[in-house]
Structure 1
């Protein structure tokens, strides 16, 4: 797996367009994270529970530059889960695949029925726990990490089970950013995996703005999920966010299901078209959701985003994506 040799300041990058050093650092990040020819790096999402060395080698041979998977803070107390995380990193390492690692909690960060003072204290304590986890993960796997992504879809209640996101997310992220300054790591940090583009007058846009207003910031790039968006729409978002925050934008999830409105052929066509235009998106990095269909997902759409089916057999999207990735 490719190591990261970039020197990373102990005071992490501020979310402030008026800061000249932030703009320069963001530009360096863009130049580092994209391919040498400035085309976007393209990766794919996997699930740690079934990610194997054989799968990793197949993904590498396919043409993907990295894999993305998540680690849940509340699950790390279980030895079996820690073993799964370690095995997933070993699998990626065996194929020379860097990891875009998303970290979050799947349970509430505060206890119910708390007053404001107590809730703030619990949010800050949870922030300490998350940063401690990041410190342990980077200490163990730093040479394997492409970047750390803070959270996943906090703008959706299902992924922010902590009450009002408008009031709790800024407090939590401000505390995370403050504490990250004491973590000396060369691993870039991106955030916050919004479920939709963080444009003005949207929930994700307001959350991003609230972090800028309430803290010095701590991320090298803004990440969001771009389901259903065209390359031109993504390009417009990239330009908008860069103009307001001075930061590059990365796509940590984009995909098409073969179990929704599209069948397997429709999925293949859309993926082929999207990847053919990836250089026009204005983003240095994008992750396709996902490598393999998920039998445990809640509905047909969620179960069928894979390039291969649940048994590992190639779907039509497999061939179209591989052909698109072979063309610069």
Structure 2
């Protein structure tokens, strides 16, 4: 059981709080396009240092926040550019593993590529497989030492879904690239999560991981509703057939696009504990 944190405010004190709450790891993102600046590299280094100080391994989600290639009507040129830019991601992963490998729980490739918002590189049906096949080829040496999971889908793969289509499109590569399929389980019931795990295992021979699950305190049930759902989910985690789960998220954000998205935290934006924190604490220390 882990929780998502933001690198820009993840300190040693925060890491100690996360650890004492009962979480086993933290998840945070590293943006390939931002790693070109020394300031961002320093921020990532500080986040890893804080996690290591608290003995918290890191699930690192690596992706770009900008389009990988410009629009092009020439398919061969676009595909060549995608293969070339894949080297940037593999280079970042190699540098992370080299610098922080002892504290890397796993590398997660991308985040919600089944949504256009997080795959701003044209039609994912055609661009995703070209890019990820090149990424997988470049990560073969890394794969021997650090687990690699993919691809943080917004929806659990199910027959005919977009996430299922993307997995199928790189099936030959993924068998030598990823050790597990990761997805986000917002709003899913226990039975739906169990079915997703069974489907992924039977179709792809890989375990299913939940790298985001959470509930906002700005929904119709408010703070008490968030706490109740957090407690119920964590208390039932043993029945989910899911070996790794990351809660979204540790602390409310200040830059979400709406009130709902800004209030998924166990703590509020100022660091004050919400009822959800107490619910998580009780559940995590009960088993």
Q: Does 1:300 align with 2:259?
A: yes
RMSD: 1.2
Structure 2: any 5+ residue segments left out of the alignment? none
Residue 247 of structure 1 is matched in structure 2 by 206
**Which residue pairs with 1:74 in the alignment?**
33
Q: Distance in 2 between matches of 1:317 and 1:184?
A: 36
Q: Which runs of 5+ in 1 are unaligned?
A: 1-41
Answering whether residue 69 of structure 2 is matched by residue 106 of structure 1, we say no
Distance in 2 separating the partners of 1:295 and 1:177:
35
1:175-202 CA distances to partner (integer Å, 9 max, x unpaired)? 1111111336511000000001011111
Q: Distance in 2 between matches of 1:185 and 1:201?
A: 32
Does residue 1:257 correspond to 2:216, yes or no?
yes
Aligned position for 1:45: 4
Q: Provide the rounded CA distance (Å) in 2 between the counterparts of 1:118 and 1:324.
A: 53
> CA shift at 1:262, angstroms?
3.1
What TM-score comes out, normalization by structure 2 length? 0.97
Q: 1:322 is matched with which residue?
A: 281
1:273-303 residue CA offsets vs partner (Å, 9 max, x unmatched): 1111100000100000000001111100000
8 Å contact from structure 2 (residues 231, 280) kept in 1: yes
CA distance in structure 2 between the aligned counterparts of 1:113 and 1:290, rounded to whole angstroms: 37
SS at match of 1:306: coil
Which position in structure 2 is the counterpart of 1:150?
Answer: 109
Moved over 2 A (4+): 182-185, 213-217
228-237 vs 72-81, greater mean Cα deviation: 228-237
Q: Which SS does the other structure have where 1:302 is aligned?
A: coil
- 1:221 equivalent to 2:221? Answer no
SS at 1:120's partner residue?
helix
Asked if 1 retains the 8 angstrom alpha-carbon contact of 2:224 and 2:275, the reply is yes
Contact 1:259 1:304 in 2 (8 A): yes
Q: What is the deviation of 1:211? A: 1.2
CA contact (8 A) 1:230 1:274 kept: no
Higher relative contact order (CA 8 A, sep 6+): 1
Aligned to 1:176: 135
Partner of 1:54: 13
Q: Which of residues 238, 249, 266 in structure 2 aligns to 1:279?
A: 238
Secondary structure of 2:276's counterpart equals helix
The answer (yes or no) to whether the contact 1:211–1:217 under 8 Å persists in 2 is no
After TM superposition, give the deviation of residue 236 of structure 1 in Å: 1.1
* Counterpart Cα distance in 2 of 1:207 and 1:296: 30
Q: Aligned-pair distance for 1:216?
A: 5.0
For residues 186-236 of structure 1, give each alpha carbon's deviation from its aligned partner in whole angstroms, at most 9, with x where no partner exists. 110000000010111111111111111566541000000000112221111
Deviation at 1:113, TM superposition (A): 2.5
Q: Is the 8 A contact 2:114 2:162 kept in 1?
A: yes
- Give the alignment partner of residue 80 of structure 2, picking from 121, 133, 144: 121
* CA deviations over 1:124-157 (Å, ceiling 9, x no partner): 0111111111111100000010000000000011
The equivalent position to 2:190 in structure 1, one of 222, 231, 237, is 231
TM-score by length of 1: 0.85
Kept in 1: contact 2:143–2:177 (CA 8 A): no
* 1:141 correspondence with 2:100: yes
**Contact 1:292/1:307 (<8 A) preserved:** yes
Which secondary structure does the structure 1 equivalent of 2:260 belong to? helix
Whole-Å separation in 2 of the counterparts to 1:268 and 1:216: 39
CA gap 1:271/1:215 in 2 versus in 1, 3 angstroms:
closer
Q: In structure 2, how many angstroms separate the alpha carbons of the residues matched to 1:261 and 1:142?
A: 42
Deviation at 1:259, TM superposition (A): 1.2
Paired with 1:313 and 1:291, the residues of 2 have a C-alpha distance of 11
Distance in 2 (alpha carbons) for counterparts of 1:85 and 1:189? 19
